[in-house]
Amino acid sequence: MILPTLACLLLGVFSAFAQEAPPAKSEEDNGYAQISIFAKALELIRQDYVDENKTSYHDLINAAMKGMLSSLDPHSQFMDPDDFRDMQDDTRSRFNGLGIEVSMKNGLPTVITAMEDTPAAKAGILSGDQILRINGISTERMDLQDAINVLRGPSGAKITLTLLRPSTKEIKEYTLQRAEIKIQSVKGVRLLDPDLTGPFKIGYVRLVQFNEPTADELSKALDELQKQGMQSLILDLRNNPGGLLNSAVDVCAQFLPPNTKVVSTQGRVASQQHDYSTSGAKKERANFPMVVLINEGSASGAEIVAGALKDLHRAVLVGETTFGKGSVQNVMQLPDGSAVRFTTAKYYTPSKQVIQGNGVTPNIRVAVTPEQERSFFALRNAGNMKPEDEKSIIKARDPQMLRAIDALKGVMIYAQENAPKAQAVKK
């Protein structure tokens, strides 16, 4: 019979990993017995299922692994070899797709952010939009990776998305054309218009994502702004979906002293307990006043940076509570080129706040309506914001930026008024 052979094979695989696995919770939770049941079910399906072309061992076991990983949490998944190669492309700065970063939330693929300068952003898709249908096919029972596979692919193809916007209960349909997505992680570097900032020189930098070159590019941008006399800074992390953990830590190092802990991870096993600190070799910068802009589209690495700068009292956070993607996934490649990605730990800010499911809350909450957000980001993503129009556009459509400017002006006015008193005390 095939059953005993298959069961023995599966049990052999189980035995290879059993020595490293945590002890079972109870006697009933016996791996050997459960694998034997699985093998029996597998053989029954292969023997009697009506469509024989759907019952290969490869297809059935791959489907079982997809179900197993997806049952754990929205961020754990099984990836076949093609999916695994696509995931590796995420750490590069170029791929083909619509420019939507998605995650599972409440059982539906949900937009974390529509990346800047992409078809999705230009169409007006917003963070929090829930994808109900892709090309007319319901996503209710769709695996996250299957959804991503449809969203990505050769450039030029058209994809129709049906979205629910929870904030307004609107259902909208978009037909988008895939394009090559090129990500420039540091954007908008400039001193803000004096008509907005008054006598103060307030710098502005927007981080779109955390990739390998992000920290170095940010360092160069800050050097240039400081040469121009920057007195304070607005760091815009709105709609930043994250990226590489080390890049986020290195960004923190631009604003914090060397060897400062910015985030920690905690999991079930000792190997998942880590503290991540700024490098001891990084140069220290002037301790200029700083505001970080955040919204629901700020996730993962953006939440690590925002949480650290808030907890360590280095910056004031302005905007709305972030997405709440604060878990660590390990990716383990399997012998056939596929891989399993599963959650092994959660991120904690320096004050031990859990990011996962909670997000990072701003010091100063400034809400924006979906229409304000859509119109402002649509203008910015379309490249229509001319320097001479920036002031009026910000005043009319970006209350978060206005509140950030006001907060920094207040801090600098206070510092100016108290500077003589501080000097007198020193004497």
Position 304 confidence tier, pLDDT thresholds 50, 70, 90: very high
Confidence band (pLDDT; 50, 70, 90) for 1? very low
Q: What is the pTM of this model?
A: 0.76
In b/e form, how buried is each residue of 239-278, taking b as 16+ CB within 10 angstroms?
bbbbbbbebbbbbbbbbbeeebbbbbbebeeeeeeeebbb
Q: Report d(CA 187, CA 116) in Å as an integer.
A: 10
pLDDT confidence bin for 70, thresholds 50/70/90: confident
Q: What value does the mean pLDDT of the chain take?
A: 85
Q: What separation, in Å, do the N-terminal and C-terminal C-alpha atoms of the chain show?
A: 94
Whether residue 137 has pLDDT greater than 60: yes
SS3 assignment for 126-192: CCCCEEEEECCEECCCCCHHHHHHHHCCCCCCEEEEEEEECCCCEEEEEEEECEEEECCCEEEEEEC
Q: Residue 348 sits in a domain of what CATH number?
A: 3.90.226.10
Euclidean distance between CA atoms 240 and 116, whole angstroms:
9
Alpha-carbon gap, residue 212 to 183, rounded angstroms: 12
Of 149, 182, 215, the domain-final residue: 182
Indicate the number of domains in the chain. Answer: 2
Report pLDDT for 176.
Answer: 93
Does residue 175 sit in the same domain as residue 190? no
Is the domain of 115 the same as that of 248? no
Domain shared by 196 and 341, yes or no: yes
Q: What is the mean pLDDT of residues 327-345?
A: 89
Range(s) of the domain holding residue 127: 83-182
10 Å Cβ neighbour count for 185?
A: 21
Q: Residue 134's pLDDT is what? A: 94
202 and 178 belong to one structural domain: no
Task: Let me know whether 252 and 109 are in one domain.
Answer: no
Arithmetic mean of pLDDT, 195-204: 95
Which one, of 327, 297, 343, lies nearest residue 116 by Cα? 297
Is residue 425 scored above 50 in pLDDT?
no
Residue 264 DSSP SS3 = strand
Q: How far apart are CA 132 and CA 164, in angstroms?
A: 7
Both 197 and 304 in one domain: the answer is yes
Indicate if the pLDDT at residue 211 is higher than 70. Answer: yes
The answer to whether position 52 is within a domain reads: no
Judgement on whether residues 291 and 197 belong to the same structural domain of the protein: yes
Residue 383's pLDDT is what?
A: 54
Q: Are 266 and 360 in the same domain?
A: yes
| pLDDT value of position 423 | 54
131 close to 186: Cβ distance less than 8 angstroms: no
**Whether 307 and 378 share a structural domain:** yes
Give 84-107 pLDDT, tens digit per residue: 876 665 555 556 789 888 888 888
CA dist., res. 144 & res. 61, Å (int): 18
**Is the domain of 190 the same as that of 239?**
yes
- Looking up residue 161, the CATH number of its domain turns out to be 2.30.42.10
CA angle, residues 322, 178, 184, in degrees to nearest 5:
50
Q: Is residue 320 part of a domain?
A: yes
In a domain, 23, yes or no: no
Over residues 281-298, mean pLDDT? 88
Each residue of 249-288: pLDDT tens digit? 999 999 999 999 999 999 988 888 999 999 887 677 889 9
What is the tens place of the pLDDT at every residue in 139-160? 988 888 888 888 888 888 999 9
- 318 falls within a domain: yes
CB 392 within 8 A of CB 270: no
What confidence score (pLDDT) does residue 421 get? Answer: 59
Task: Give the residue from 153, 182, 211 where a domain finishes.
Answer: 182
The share of the chain scoring above pLDDT 90, in percent, equals 51
Let me know if residue 71 belongs to a domain: no
Is residue 60 a part of any domain in this protein?
Answer: no
Clarify whether residues 158 and 190 are in a common domain: no
Residue 190 has phi, psi (to 5 degrees) of -175, 165
Q: Choose the final residue of a domain: 182, 214, 234.
A: 182
Catalytic residues: 300, 311, 325
pLDDT of residue 133: 95
Query: pLDDT (tens digit, 9 = 90+) per residue, 171-184?
Result: 999 999 998 877 78
* Domain assignment present for 167: yes
pLDDT for res 7? 55
Q: What average pLDDT does range 43-56 have in this prediction?
A: 93
51, part of any domain: no
29-43, 85-99, 216-230, 384-398 — which is least confidently predicted?
A: 85-99
Asked whether residue 265 falls in the same domain as residue 126, the answer is no
